[in-house]
A = this chain, B = another copy of it.
Amino acid sequence: MELLTTNNVWMMVCTALVFFMHLGFSLLEVGLTRQKNAINILFKNVFIICAGLLTYAILGFNLMYPGSFLAGVIPDYFFDLFGLSAPVADGALDLAYNEGYTYWTDFLFQGMFAATAATIVSGAVAERIKLGSFMLFSVIYITIVYPIVGSWKWGGGFLDGLGFYDFAGSTLVHSVGGWGALIAIYLLGARLGKFGKDGQSHAIPGHNIPLATAGVFILWLGWFGFNGGSVLSADPSLTSITLVTTCLATAAGGISAFLVSTIAYKNYDLTMFLNGILGGLVGITAGADLMSPFDAVLIGLVAGGVIVFGVSLVDKLKLDDPVGAVAVHLACGIWGTLAVGTFGSMAGFDQFLTQLAGVGIIGAFCCISAFVILSIIKATMGLRMEEKEETEGLDAHEHGMDAYAEFGTVHDR
């Protein structure tokens, strides 16, 4: 009982921290984009956490943790699909749920995770997607795609059976979001003016770097809960080594992205430093409990490099990702998942292949799902704002509001 209480306290603290990541994402995204779309970006982020929690309660949670599958792949969702299936009805609570924490804590912690996956997409598609279309897509993605993928590993599905390992979600959360982002920016096209007629890439600087920096600090803080809570108990040794590997990989990711980008571009680029920090965080997430501090530093160092080259690769592919979501969440998510087979206590060639298989299967499923959902939306409601609306700003057209009514308004039609 005492231990359950302590575990539950830790899990609730972690839940609060993961919740707080949504502010981190909001500030990061709003800071790295333009003033004329700031309200729109905030709206999307606020929507995702609210809608995400509700849909996860209605459907996602029971879909993700089914324990039983049809053919080992499709979660067997004939029971308990709609609404939370509280262990005991009517307020009385079942403390026997497990040793780590209560059923309710579990739901809330997982719900916060679910909303994260859609937030990742939000940054990538910023400044040009229709609000309604985005809301529809993200609800479907959180409610169906994310939990099905999650069920394959965390819900005890076939990937779990295969031995695939993903501690806190480099693949199950970040890559799921990252693949969605990749498909979405491919289907949406780049923002007007991002690529010149000659194909040359233009910079579209973010309008508020101090807020973006605050967002990154908040995300790092949130990751104490994201990884620390994924231990699913307050086990002293596991939680504390997890926090140490998380922080060291993050620090290494930042320093490495800073050094690589300084060498590559002869310039102290703060946004690369910040992306490197996030890359380190995503990279360590799959194996945060398996690594020694030294392994963690190595994983972070590589992640920092992945970021710098990932960002420039996305650019070369003429894909437009204003916040670097694909490099951070997809590229580093893949790297982190593979790193489980390369470093730390599970390393080994077989494990590496299993990790690769997991990455591939989930990638294929996410890409196909995202492609189908987005294509249907594109064909029906349309995905992208009209050229005039995009030029004049989404805030003016979708919201009729200014983010900074007194610092030079941007309304103009």
How does the 8 Å CB contact mask read for A237-266 relative to B, with 1 for contact and 0 for none?
A: 111110110011011101100100000000
Interface residue SS majority, chain A? helix
For residue A207, CB closer than 8 A to chain B, the reply is yes
Contact in complex: B251, A50 (CB < 8 Å): yes
Q: How far is the CA of A104 from the CA of B293 in the complex (A)?
A: 10
How many chain A residues touch B (Cβ–Cβ < 8 Å)?
113
For residue A373, CB closer than 8 A to chain B, the reply is no
How does the 8 Å CB contact mask read for A343-386 relative to B, with 1 for contact and 0 for none?
A: 01100000000000000000000000000000000000000000
Q: Which residues of B contact A277 (CB under 8 A)?
A: 46, 50
Contact in complex: A38, B102 (CB < 8 Å): no
Q: How far is the CB of A35 from chain B (nearest CB, A)?
A: 5
If A91-B290, A254-B50, A292-B90 touch, does A102 touch B217 (CB 8 Å cutoff)? no
Q: How far is the CB of A15 from chain B (nearest CB, A)?
A: 7
Contact in complex: A217, B26 (CB < 8 Å): yes
For residue A126, CB closer than 8 A to chain B, the reply is no
How does the 8 Å CB contact mask read for A24-48 relative to B, with 1 for contact and 0 for none?
A: 0011001000110011001100110
If A9-B6, A209-B401, A234-B9 touch, does A406 touch B221 (CB 8 Å cutoff)? no
If A93-B237, A290-B91, A345-B91 touch, does A217 touch B23 (CB 8 Å cutoff)? yes
Contact in complex: B236, A84 (CB < 8 Å): no
Contact in complex: A243, B15 (CB < 8 Å): yes
How does the 8 Å CB contact mask read for A83-116 relative to B, with 1 for contact and 0 for none?
A: 1101000110101000001111101100100000
* Shortest Cβ distance from A89 into B: residue: B292
* Shortest Cβ distance from A267 into B: residue: B400
For residue A218, CB closer than 8 A to chain B, the reply is yes
For residue A341, CB closer than 8 A to chain B, the reply is no
Q: Which residues of B contact A208 (CB under 8 A)?
A: 210, 403-404
For residue A182, CB closer than 8 A to chain B, the reply is no
Q: How far is the CA of A402 from the CA of B267 in the complex (A)?
A: 13
15 residue pairs from A and B, CB less than 8 Å apart: A12-B243, A26-B217, A35-B406, A42-B270, A95-B236, A101-B240, A102-B237, A205-B405, A207-B405, A209-B401, A209-B403, A210-B211, A267-B399, A407-B407, A407-B408
Known: A19-B221, A108-B247. 12 other contacts (CB 8 A): A2-B6, A8-B234, A8-B239, A27-B210, A35-B407, A46-B274, A91-B292, A102-B240, A104-B243, A105-B243, A108-B243, A205-B405
